[in-house]
Amino acid sequence: MSRFRARRLLLGCSASDLVLLAEPEATTDTPQLLAALAVAAPAAATASAATAALGAALAALQPAPLAAADQAQAGTHSDAQSPSLSVTLDDGLVRSFVVTPPRGAQGLRELRATAAARFAALYGESAEHWLLVGDWHASFPFVVCALPRVLYRALDQWAQAHSWRLDSMTPALVRVCNRLCASIPSDGCLLVGFGQRLSLLYICNDQVASTRSVLLPSVPDFAALETLLAQERLRSPDQGASGKQQSLLWAGAADWLPLASRMAGLESRTIRLPGGGGSAATQLALAGRRS
Protein backbone atom coordinates (compact mmCIF):
# COMPACT_ATOMS: atom_id res chain seq x y z
CA MET A 1 0.00 0.00 0.00
CA SER A 2 1.25 3.49 -0.84
CA ARG A 3 2.50 5.54 2.10
CA PHE A 4 1.69 8.78 0.27
CA ARG A 5 -0.56 11.07 2.33
CA ALA A 6 -2.18 14.04 0.60
CA ARG A 7 -2.32 17.25 2.58
CA ARG A 8 -4.11 19.47 0.04
CA LEU A 9 -5.04 19.61 -3.63
CA LEU A 10 -3.20 22.16 -5.77
CA LEU A 11 -4.59 23.49 -9.06
CA GLY A 12 -2.53 25.60 -11.44
CA CYS A 13 -4.39 27.63 -14.07
CA SER A 14 -2.74 29.27 -17.05
CA ALA A 15 -4.49 30.44 -20.20
CA SER A 16 -3.32 27.31 -22.01
CA ASP A 17 -3.44 24.49 -19.45
CA LEU A 18 -4.72 23.16 -16.12
CA VAL A 19 -2.80 20.89 -13.75
CA LEU A 20 -4.11 19.30 -10.54
CA LEU A 21 -1.68 17.92 -7.95
CA ALA A 22 -2.06 16.30 -4.54
CA GLU A 23 0.28 17.91 -2.04
CA PRO A 24 1.94 15.32 0.22
CA GLU A 25 1.99 15.64 3.99
CA ALA A 26 5.72 14.95 3.98
CA THR A 27 7.58 17.88 2.39
CA THR A 28 10.20 15.46 1.07
CA ASP A 29 7.62 13.58 -1.03
CA THR A 30 6.86 14.46 -4.64
CA PRO A 31 3.36 15.82 -5.33
CA GLN A 32 1.07 13.33 -7.06
CA LEU A 33 -0.24 14.31 -10.50
CA LEU A 34 -4.01 13.82 -10.55
CA ALA A 35 -4.96 15.48 -13.83
CA ALA A 36 -3.62 17.69 -16.61
CA LEU A 37 -5.48 19.27 -19.49
CA ALA A 38 -4.51 21.48 -22.41
CA VAL A 39 -7.02 24.31 -22.95
CA ALA A 40 -7.86 25.31 -26.51
CA ALA A 41 -7.08 28.94 -27.27
CA PRO A 42 -10.27 31.00 -27.59
CA ALA A 43 -11.05 32.74 -30.87
CA ALA A 44 -10.81 36.14 -29.15
CA ALA A 45 -7.42 36.68 -27.55
CA THR A 46 -8.71 38.50 -24.46
CA ALA A 47 -8.46 37.79 -20.74
CA SER A 48 -12.24 37.37 -20.45
CA ALA A 49 -12.26 34.85 -23.31
CA ALA A 50 -9.40 32.92 -21.69
CA THR A 51 -11.28 32.91 -18.39
CA ALA A 52 -14.43 31.58 -20.06
CA ALA A 53 -12.42 28.86 -21.82
CA LEU A 54 -10.86 27.76 -18.53
CA GLY A 55 -14.24 27.61 -16.81
CA ALA A 56 -15.64 25.49 -19.62
CA ALA A 57 -12.60 23.18 -19.62
CA LEU A 58 -12.92 22.33 -15.92
CA ALA A 59 -15.67 19.78 -16.61
CA ALA A 60 -13.19 17.76 -18.68
CA LEU A 61 -10.51 17.83 -15.98
CA GLN A 62 -11.15 14.45 -14.36
CA PRO A 63 -8.73 13.65 -11.52
CA ALA A 64 -7.13 10.25 -11.16
CA PRO A 65 -7.88 8.43 -7.89
CA LEU A 66 -5.67 9.26 -4.94
CA ALA A 67 -3.34 6.61 -3.61
CA ALA A 68 -5.13 3.85 -1.69
CA ALA A 69 -4.15 5.19 1.71
CA ASP A 70 -5.61 8.57 0.84
CA GLN A 71 -8.86 7.08 -0.41
CA ALA A 72 -9.34 5.37 2.92
CA GLN A 73 -8.47 8.57 4.73
CA ALA A 74 -10.86 10.62 2.53
CA GLY A 75 -13.69 8.27 3.45
CA THR A 76 -13.42 9.34 7.08
CA HIS A 77 -13.79 13.07 6.28
CA SER A 78 -16.89 14.92 7.41
CA ASP A 79 -18.16 17.76 5.23
CA ALA A 80 -16.29 20.23 7.43
CA GLN A 81 -13.06 18.27 6.89
CA SER A 82 -13.39 17.73 3.13
CA PRO A 83 -10.14 18.06 1.17
CA SER A 84 -9.20 21.65 0.44
CA LEU A 85 -8.36 22.98 -3.02
CA SER A 86 -5.79 25.74 -3.43
CA VAL A 87 -5.83 27.45 -6.85
CA THR A 88 -3.01 29.57 -8.26
CA LEU A 89 -3.84 31.71 -11.29
CA ASP A 90 -1.59 33.03 -14.01
CA ASP A 91 -1.33 36.80 -13.48
CA GLY A 92 -2.68 37.36 -16.99
CA LEU A 93 -6.08 36.03 -15.85
CA VAL A 94 -6.50 38.72 -13.20
CA ARG A 95 -6.20 42.49 -12.97
CA SER A 96 -3.83 43.73 -10.31
CA PHE A 97 -3.32 47.39 -9.44
CA VAL A 98 -2.20 49.67 -6.63
CA VAL A 99 -4.69 51.73 -4.62
CA THR A 100 -3.78 54.76 -2.53
CA PRO A 101 -6.35 55.17 0.26
CA PRO A 102 -7.97 58.59 0.65
CA ARG A 103 -6.82 60.68 3.57
CA GLY A 104 -8.79 59.82 6.68
CA ALA A 105 -10.25 56.65 5.18
CA GLN A 106 -12.61 54.97 7.60
CA GLY A 107 -13.20 51.25 7.44
CA LEU A 108 -13.16 48.48 4.89
CA ARG A 109 -16.28 49.69 3.07
CA GLU A 110 -14.62 52.97 2.08
CA LEU A 111 -11.45 51.18 1.00
CA ARG A 112 -13.46 48.79 -1.18
CA ALA A 113 -15.32 51.71 -2.74
CA THR A 114 -12.00 53.42 -3.47
CA ALA A 115 -10.68 50.22 -5.07
CA ALA A 116 -13.82 49.88 -7.22
CA ALA A 117 -13.46 53.48 -8.39
CA ARG A 118 -9.80 52.91 -9.20
CA PHE A 119 -10.71 49.77 -11.15
CA ALA A 120 -13.30 51.68 -13.20
CA ALA A 121 -10.82 54.47 -13.92
CA LEU A 122 -8.13 52.03 -15.07
CA TYR A 123 -10.21 49.60 -17.11
CA GLY A 124 -13.23 51.64 -18.18
CA GLU A 125 -15.81 49.26 -16.75
CA SER A 126 -17.60 48.45 -13.53
CA ALA A 127 -16.05 45.96 -11.11
CA GLU A 128 -19.35 44.12 -10.62
CA HIS A 129 -18.10 41.06 -12.53
CA TRP A 130 -14.90 40.89 -10.51
CA LEU A 131 -14.01 39.95 -6.94
CA LEU A 132 -11.78 42.68 -5.49
CA VAL A 133 -9.31 41.18 -3.03
CA GLY A 134 -6.67 43.31 -1.35
CA ASP A 135 -4.29 43.74 1.54
CA TRP A 136 -6.46 46.59 2.77
CA HIS A 137 -4.74 49.50 4.56
CA ALA A 138 -6.10 52.91 5.49
CA SER A 139 -2.74 54.69 5.77
CA PHE A 140 -0.54 53.53 2.86
CA PRO A 141 -0.87 52.12 -0.69
CA PHE A 142 -1.82 48.48 -1.19
CA VAL A 143 -2.27 45.98 -4.03
CA VAL A 144 -5.75 44.94 -5.13
CA CYS A 145 -6.36 41.90 -7.34
CA ALA A 146 -9.56 41.69 -9.38
CA LEU A 147 -10.50 38.01 -9.80
CA PRO A 148 -13.09 36.99 -12.43
CA ARG A 149 -16.34 36.04 -10.68
CA VAL A 150 -17.26 33.65 -13.48
CA LEU A 151 -14.07 31.66 -12.94
CA TYR A 152 -14.50 31.66 -9.17
CA ARG A 153 -18.02 30.25 -9.53
CA ALA A 154 -16.84 27.61 -12.00
CA LEU A 155 -14.02 26.53 -9.68
CA ASP A 156 -16.30 26.46 -6.65
CA GLN A 157 -18.89 24.32 -8.45
CA TRP A 158 -16.19 21.99 -9.79
CA ALA A 159 -14.71 21.56 -6.30
CA GLN A 160 -18.12 20.84 -4.78
CA ALA A 161 -18.83 18.26 -7.48
CA HIS A 162 -15.77 16.35 -6.23
CA SER A 163 -16.64 16.90 -2.53
CA TRP A 164 -13.74 19.31 -2.07
CA ARG A 165 -13.65 22.76 -0.49
CA LEU A 166 -12.28 25.73 -2.46
CA ASP A 167 -9.81 27.15 0.03
CA SER A 168 -8.19 29.90 -2.04
CA MET A 169 -7.93 31.37 -5.53
CA THR A 170 -4.76 33.45 -5.65
CA PRO A 171 -2.72 35.12 -8.42
CA ALA A 172 0.89 34.00 -8.81
CA LEU A 173 2.28 37.41 -7.83
CA VAL A 174 0.42 37.32 -4.52
CA ARG A 175 1.51 33.72 -3.84
CA VAL A 176 5.14 34.75 -4.23
CA CYS A 177 4.71 37.94 -2.18
CA ASN A 178 3.19 35.99 0.70
CA ARG A 179 5.91 33.34 0.54
CA LEU A 180 8.91 35.67 0.23
CA CYS A 181 7.68 38.82 1.97
CA ALA A 182 10.78 39.07 4.17
CA SER A 183 13.06 38.94 1.11
CA ILE A 184 11.35 41.57 -1.05
CA PRO A 185 13.53 44.71 -1.36
CA SER A 186 12.26 47.85 0.39
CA ASP A 187 13.36 49.88 -2.63
CA GLY A 188 13.41 48.24 -6.02
CA CYS A 189 11.41 45.58 -7.79
CA LEU A 190 10.07 42.07 -7.32
CA LEU A 191 9.96 40.23 -10.65
CA VAL A 192 7.92 37.02 -10.74
CA GLY A 193 8.22 34.51 -13.58
CA PHE A 194 6.03 31.47 -14.35
CA GLY A 195 5.72 30.03 -17.83
CA GLN A 196 6.29 32.99 -20.13
CA ARG A 197 4.56 35.49 -17.84
CA LEU A 198 6.59 38.17 -16.04
CA SER A 199 4.93 40.21 -13.30
CA LEU A 200 6.59 43.22 -11.71
CA LEU A 201 5.91 44.85 -8.36
CA TYR A 202 7.73 48.11 -7.69
CA ILE A 203 8.45 49.17 -4.12
CA CYS A 204 9.55 52.65 -3.01
CA ASN A 205 10.33 53.56 0.60
CA ASP A 206 8.99 50.16 1.70
CA GLN A 207 5.60 50.84 0.09
CA VAL A 208 4.14 49.36 -3.09
CA ALA A 209 4.26 51.86 -5.94
CA SER A 210 2.97 50.06 -9.04
CA THR A 211 2.50 46.66 -10.60
CA ARG A 212 2.39 45.30 -14.12
CA SER A 213 2.23 41.93 -15.88
CA VAL A 214 3.77 41.11 -19.28
CA LEU A 215 3.41 38.04 -21.50
CA LEU A 216 6.80 37.43 -23.10
CA PRO A 217 6.62 36.62 -26.82
CA SER A 218 9.38 34.02 -26.53
CA VAL A 219 11.84 32.61 -24.01
CA PRO A 220 14.11 35.59 -23.24
CA ASP A 221 17.88 35.58 -22.88
CA PHE A 222 19.80 37.82 -20.47
CA ALA A 223 20.09 40.72 -22.93
CA ALA A 224 16.37 40.66 -23.70
CA LEU A 225 15.50 40.67 -19.99
CA GLU A 226 17.87 43.55 -19.33
CA THR A 227 16.31 45.57 -22.17
CA LEU A 228 12.81 44.77 -20.96
CA LEU A 229 13.73 45.76 -17.42
CA ALA A 230 15.11 49.11 -18.60
CA GLN A 231 11.91 49.77 -20.56
CA GLU A 232 9.67 48.79 -17.65
CA ARG A 233 11.57 51.00 -15.21
CA LEU A 234 10.87 53.98 -17.47
CA ARG A 235 7.15 53.24 -17.10
CA SER A 236 7.27 53.63 -13.33
CA PRO A 237 7.64 57.28 -12.25
CA ASP A 238 8.52 56.25 -8.70
CA GLN A 239 11.80 54.57 -9.62
CA GLY A 240 14.60 56.40 -7.86
CA ALA A 241 12.21 58.64 -5.91
CA SER A 242 13.50 57.42 -2.55
CA GLY A 243 17.09 58.29 -3.37
CA LYS A 244 18.19 54.94 -1.93
CA GLN A 245 20.07 52.11 -3.60
CA GLN A 246 17.59 49.91 -5.40
CA SER A 247 17.76 46.17 -5.93
CA LEU A 248 15.98 43.42 -7.82
CA LEU A 249 14.51 40.15 -6.60
CA TRP A 250 13.59 37.58 -9.25
CA ALA A 251 11.39 34.70 -8.11
CA GLY A 252 9.36 31.90 -9.64
CA ALA A 253 9.80 28.64 -11.52
CA ALA A 254 10.41 29.88 -15.08
CA ASP A 255 13.60 28.44 -16.55
CA TRP A 256 14.59 31.83 -17.99
CA LEU A 257 14.94 33.62 -14.64
CA PRO A 258 18.42 35.20 -14.59
CA LEU A 259 21.07 34.22 -12.05
CA ALA A 260 23.28 37.32 -12.36
CA SER A 261 24.31 39.31 -9.27
CA ARG A 262 23.85 42.59 -11.16
CA MET A 263 21.41 43.57 -13.87
CA ALA A 264 20.78 46.94 -15.55
CA GLY A 265 23.19 48.46 -13.06
CA LEU A 266 21.27 47.18 -10.02
CA GLU A 267 22.03 44.52 -7.44
CA SER A 268 20.06 41.41 -8.39
CA ARG A 269 19.33 38.01 -6.90
CA THR A 270 17.06 35.11 -7.77
CA ILE A 271 15.00 32.68 -5.70
CA ARG A 272 13.95 29.66 -7.74
CA LEU A 273 10.75 27.91 -6.73
CA PRO A 274 9.88 24.27 -7.55
CA GLY A 275 8.54 23.40 -10.97
CA GLY A 276 11.35 24.32 -13.33
CA GLY A 277 11.03 22.45 -16.63
CA GLY A 278 7.30 21.84 -16.14
CA SER A 279 4.38 23.46 -17.91
CA ALA A 280 3.12 26.87 -16.80
CA ALA A 281 0.19 25.28 -14.96
CA THR A 282 2.49 22.79 -13.19
CA GLN A 283 4.70 25.65 -12.01
CA LEU A 284 1.64 27.54 -10.79
CA ALA A 285 0.20 24.52 -8.97
CA LEU A 286 3.49 23.96 -7.14
CA ALA A 287 3.56 27.64 -6.14
CA GLY A 288 0.60 26.87 -3.90
CA ARG A 289 2.60 24.42 -1.77
CA ARG A 290 3.07 25.26 1.87
CA SER A 291 6.74 25.59 2.66
pLDDT in tens, 108-161: 999 999 999 999 999 999 999 999 999 999 999 999 999 999 999 999 999 999
Taking the domains of the chain in order of start, what are their residue ranges? 180-287
| 163: alpha, beta or left? (left if phi > 0; alpha if psi -120 to 50) | left
Instruction: For residues 98 and 209, give the distance between their C-alpha atoms in angstroms, rounded to a whole number.
Output: 7
Whether pTM > 0.85 for this model: the answer is yes
Query: Which band of pLDDT confidence, cut at 50, 70 and 90, is reported for residue 94?
Result: very high
Fold held by 180-287? Nucleotidyltransferase; domain 5 (3.30.420)
Return the pLDDT at 74.
Answer: 47
Strand-pair partners of 270: 250
Instruction: Tell me: pLDDT of 16 over 70.
Output: yes
Q: Mean pLDDT over residues 75-80, rounded?
A: 49
User: Which DSSP category does 267 fall into?
Assistant: E
Q: In whole angstroms, what separates CA 160 from the centre of its chain?
A: 22
pLDDT in tens, 149-200: 999 999 999 999 999 999 999 999 999 999 999 999 999 999 999 999 999 9
User: Which of 103-107, 136-140, 148-152, 247-251 shows the lowest per-residue confidence on average (mean pLDDT)?
Assistant: 103-107
Q: Mean pLDDT over residues 237-260, rounded?
A: 83
Q: Counting Cβ atoms within 10 Å, is residue 207 exposed (0-12), middle (13-18) or buried (19+)?
A: middle
